[in-house]
Amino acid sequence: MSRVYNFSAGPAVLPEEVLKEAAAEMLDYNGTGMSVMEMSHRSKAYQEIIDTAEADLRELMDIPDNYKVLFLQGGASLQFAMIPMNLMKHGEADYIVTGQWAKKAYQEAQKYGKANKIASSEDKTFSYIPDVSDLPISENADYVYICENNTIYGTKYKELPDTKGKLLVSDVSSCFLSEPVDVTKYGVIYGGVQKNIGPAGVVIVIIREDLITDDVLEGTPTMLKYKTHADAGSLYNTPPAYGIYICGKVFKWLKRKGGLAAMKEYNEKKAKILYDFLDESRLFKGTVEKKDRSLMNVPFVTGDKELDAKFVKESQAAGFENLKGHRTVGGMRASIYNAMPIEGVEALVAFMKKFEEENL
């Protein structure tokens, strides 16, 4: 068996310890004589799995009691619709467009009400986060929407926007559990887990209790009401049961690692190795404004498309997978989520140095 260094933006690398544990429990989970995949979601064993996962997530993120944790399906993209359907009580919301995912959310919201684009960084291919300290927040907006870490472009909010008292809704798919957060600053925090937590198919929604009501957009399907899932403890219908089990194992792994403060420190250390190299390199350069750099997704280019393609090809042959950048940015992107070991980043930088010497 040989494992590569997987720099995929998602689905992405998971902790080896977690994969090994899951493998060991594949045929017989904890004396049940069956795999978690084969288990009733109404069984005692499964109830314990989902309860423990929620409790561990609450501990990791210090989630206050007046927030619900929901394990849902449909990926982050279904939230682009669920959020306006459930939260646009006055039919209006403000969107800050900092990348493709924020733009998709903004476009989807237009189907359900008046979505206002109050700031954008599209003028420079989303290579920065706009100034969000004094935005023209709409008087009737039910919420202000952001995508906190822009997976494709490699930017991250370092300060949350001043929403002038409006509810903040944040897509944290690609920075979930990468550093501590103050949950009380948000109405809703949500993310697909396949970037930083677990297998695709699960989306976690952390939502303030008072926002969960029956007062939703007319015609909202039962399955798309937060209240349906909140009332049923995420077990209204069959949940993505195996995925939640793996998420639970990742939460335990994060706790063993020292929690989110320790993760932040580790992630900063990893990202610094790569960014420091990009800043001194004569061949490679980062594509993002330094102040807005993400700790999780690091896009870079050589400035020459053919050389970029050569790099991607040679890096793959050397055991570095998925370094090709998103088609809208070109070049390369290294996603260095929680589970990417520091040795992977060090090895990548060593490979980039060698490539630079050979190609300058």
Looking at residue 53, its amino acid is A
Write the DSSP symbol of residue 174: T
Any contact of residue 147 with ligand PLP (CB under 6 A)?
yes
Q: Which residue has the tokens 């677990």?
A: 198
Binding range to ligand PLP, per CB under 6 A, among 24-32, 40-48, 166-174, 328-336: 166-174
Nearer to ligand PLP, 150 or 228 (CB): 150
Any contact of residue 198 with ligand PLP (CB under 6 A)?
no
**Min dist. Cβ of residue 170 to ligand PLP (A):** 10
Any contact of residue 171 with ligand PLP (CB under 6 A)?
yes
CA dist 300 → 231, 268, 327 (Å): 45, 18, 13
Q: Residue 219's closest CA among 347, 75, 301, 111?
A: 111
Any contact of residue 76 with ligand PLP (CB under 6 A)?
yes
Nearer to ligand PLP, 121 or 174 (CB): 174
- Binding residue for ligand PLP, selected from 46, 95, 101, 251, defined by CB under 6 A: 101
Instruction: Give the whole-angstrom CA distance, residue 148 versus residue 352.
Output: 29
Strand order in 285-286's β-sheet?
285-286, 297-301, 332-335
- Binding residue for ligand PLP, selected from 68, 156, 166, 195, defined by CB under 6 A: 195
Nearer to ligand PLP, 82 or 212 (CB): 82
Q: Is 101 a catalytic residue?
A: yes
Please tell me the chain's helix, strand, coil percentages from 3-state DSSP, rounded to the nearest 5. 40, 15, 45
Q: Which of 68, 156, 166, 195 is catalytic?
A: 195
Q: Closest residue to ligand PLP, Cβ-based?
A: 75
Write the DSSP symbol of residue 185: G
**Min dist. Cβ of residue 294 to ligand PLP (A):** 11
Looking at residue 257, its amino acid is K
- What is the secondary structure of 204-251 as a DSSP string? EEEEEGGG--S---TT--GGG-HHHHHHTTT-SS---HHHHHHHHHHH
- Residues in Cβ contact with 38 at an 8 Å cutoff, skipping those fewer than 6 apart: none
Q: Which of 171, 253, 292, 324 is catalytic?
A: 171
**Min dist. Cβ of residue 314 to ligand PLP (A):** 27
Nearer to ligand PLP, 116 or 173 (CB): 173
**Min dist. Cβ of residue 23 to ligand PLP (A):** 25
CB atoms within 10 A of CB 197: 26
**Min dist. Cβ of residue 155 to ligand PLP (A):** 11
Q: Quick one: tokens of 233? A: 């403890």
- Binding residue for ligand PLP, selected from 192, 240, 243, 325, defined by CB under 6 A: 192
Any contact of residue 220 with ligand PLP (CB under 6 A)?
no
- Helix, coil or strand: residue 128: coil
Nearer to ligand PLP, 77 or 107 (CB): 77
For residue 10, the Cα-to-chain-centroid distance in whole angstroms is: 9
Q: Count interface residues toward ligand PLP (CB under 6 A).
A: 12
- Binding residue for ligand PLP, selected from 86, 173, 178, 302, defined by CB under 6 A: 173
The burial of 336, by beta-carbon neighbours within 10 Å (0-12 exposed, 13-18 middle, 19 or more buried), is given as buried
CB atoms within 10 A of CB 308: 20
- Binding residue for ligand PLP, selected from 77, 120, 140, 213, defined by CB under 6 A: 77
Residues carrying an active site annotation: 101, 171, 195
Can you give the binding site for ligand PLP, defined by CB under 6 A?
A: 10, 75-77, 101, 147, 151, 171, 173-174, 192, 195
